[in-house]
Amino acid sequence: MLVPLTAEEGSSRPWALLEMQGELERKDGGSLEEAFDVGTLSVSSSGSVLLTIGYHQLEGKRVELKKPFAVLDRTSSEEGGSTGFKVIGVVREKILFKARPRALITKPGGK
């Protein structure tokens, strides 16, 4: 069986990738399937990328990938039902949050 990997105009659009340890959970009872705000991304003055989720903060940095990733989307043609993959983007760098989250401490007793 042949499964073609094809590209089209705009296939080389750059995509971004964020990688962090563990997984996300929602404490508000919502599901991960629906749209929700995870947290806030910002850059520190030292150039690292910060992701603040509630009272926790992840510190990460931009890492250039050794080899790029092609982002593939499964396609199936209407008639034959044969599947294929279409390149919809290329990832060349990722923002890697390597460390565990750090608690953001406010003033003692100020909560």
- How far apart CA 81 and CA 1 sit, in angstroms, is 13
CB of residue 78 vs another protein: minimum separation in angstroms? 18
Alpha-carbon separation of residue 95 from 9, 18, 79 (angstroms): 26, 5, 40
If one asks whether residue 1 binds another protein (CB under 8 A), the answer comes out as yes
If one asks whether residue 6 binds another protein (CB under 8 A), the answer comes out as yes
CB atoms within 10 A of CB 104: 11
If one asks whether residue 62 binds another protein (CB under 8 A), the answer comes out as yes
If one asks whether residue 44 binds another protein (CB under 8 A), the answer comes out as yes
Residue 29, classed as helix, strand or coil, is coil
Residues found in the chain: 111
If one asks whether residue 72 binds another protein (CB under 8 A), the answer comes out as yes
With CB under 8 A as the contact rule, the residue among 27, 28, 51, 61 that binds another protein is 51
Residue 81, classed as helix, strand or coil, is coil
What does the binding site for another protein look like in residue numbers (CB under 8 A)?
Answer: 1-7, 11-24, 32-46, 49-52, 55, 57, 62, 67-74, 85, 87-93, 95, 104-107, 110
